[in-house]
Structure 1
């Protein structure tokens, strides 16, 4: 049997395609089959053993021993669910830790941008909205939800783009030691944010896969009303900038 998707024989979209992250959280659900599966683990073997005793096919003592041992699958699966719950809770804490790392870098970047804006205001007639944006970011640098973190990052990119416009209009600023140092720190933090985003998205991907791992993890996730998490996404402005001609 050949490959269902074959890059040699096509079809191929030569015009390319824009990829977007879907902003949707999918709840984990289970059906009646999972409930039947769990019940069967506890009662299937004991029921057969006791049925054999009732029909006289199995001696009473042997039937009781088999019935007692027959609950072992249920007990084993119970421990599997306990371990699954502990694992998913640990993974949630990992997501929070990764998100917190992004927040830390974003907050440091806001402080640096605030310093840059202060320096630029003394040298050039900077766009008044830049100062307002940085002030707003500084008051809410520590974000909470995935959406808030994404919005803060997007606003920061917008502010930085306007600062870069000022740099282009006043090339002498690039020789200003304090400004140059601040922009170098900003560049370093941007790389750290990119790495932190990648780590966060990797952990979110593991979470989104594991909560649907049947039977133990999916059953536990469904009963705890867990949903998928939305990974960190690029803004429309960033995507548009990536398509521009640089050289």
Structure 2
């Protein structure tokens, strides 16, 4: 009788430890997703600060580039409207506005040699491009963390622990619909 009781106690302890470990893994995964989302927001807001400076430089060309300044303002508004919680869908508007802005800036630099020669404007353009690369890297990290988190709450035994205790919902990864439409290859899912 003692051996059966000991085996039951050991089994119960192992199940409890495994449950706690899975529970903590889900919480840790959720926190990593939120931190990765925060990194995306930080890079977007840093880009917004450079856009503020660029807007001042472009003010001299306002007569010629009103639409460009509107795109900068629109992008800044979109960045500030990003939610604090992780949401890949919300980022789509910001990325689309960034692409439109970068296209408009290239046209402006080609059209106005004085602006092109401005060292400050060139430095800001490089900074914006660098910040955009940082955003891309942060999105990649965010999506990877979303994948790991979603797997942890949707796969057994994590799904059982999540259903009983955490009840965390899957997080939506960022998806660039415009970029995916440009590919002729589709994965074999």
TM range (shorter): 0.7 to 0.9
1:219 to 149, 160, 165: 160
2:27 to 89, 103, 119: 89
How far the C-alpha of 1:180 sits from its partner, in A, is: 0.5
CA contact (8 A) 1:103 1:149 kept: no
Extract unaligned runs of 5+ from structure 2: 185-189
Residue 187 of structure 2 is matched in structure 1 by none
Give SS of 2:38's match. helix
Q: How many residues align?
A: 179
TM-score calculated relative to the size of structure 1: 0.63
Residue 101 of structure 1 is matched in structure 2 by 39
Residue 154 of structure 1 is matched in structure 2 by 96
Question: Within 2, Cα distance between the matches of 1:113 and 1:242?
Answer: 31
How far the C-alpha of 1:68 sits from its partner, in A, is: 5.4
Extract unaligned runs of 5+ from structure 1: 1-61
CA contact (8 A) 2:19 2:161 kept: yes
Question: Within 2, Cα distance between the matches of 1:240 and 1:162?
Answer: 22
2:120 paired with 1:178: yes
- Deviation string for 1:50-80 (max 9, x for gaps)? xxxxxxxxxxxx2x65245324323321221
Instruction: Output aligned runs, 1:20-59, within 5 Å.
Output: none
Question: Within 1, Cα distance between the matches of 2:139 and 2:103?
Answer: 20
Residue 77 of structure 1 is matched in structure 2 by 15
CA contact (8 A) 2:36 2:138 kept: yes
CA RMSD in angstroms, aligned pairs only: 2.6
Give SS of 1:70's match. helix
CA contact (8 A) 1:81 1:220 kept: yes
Residue 115 of structure 1 is matched in structure 2 by 53
How far the C-alpha of 1:240 sits from its partner, in A, is: 6.7
TM-score calculated relative to the size of structure 2: 0.79
C-alpha spacing 1:82/1:181, structure 2 compared with 1 (3 Å): same
Give SS of 1:232's match. coil
2:150 to 189, 201, 208: 208
Question: Within 2, Cα distance between the matches of 1:151 and 1:225?
Answer: 29
**Which one has more relative contact order, counting CA pairs under 8 Å at least 6 apart?**
2
1:134 to 72, 88, 95: 72
How far the C-alpha of 1:103 sits from its partner, in A, is: 0.7
Question: Within 2, Cα distance between the matches of 1:161 and 1:242?
Answer: 20
Identify the range of structure 1 (181-190 vs 110-119) with the bigger mean alpha-carbon deviation. Answer: 110-119
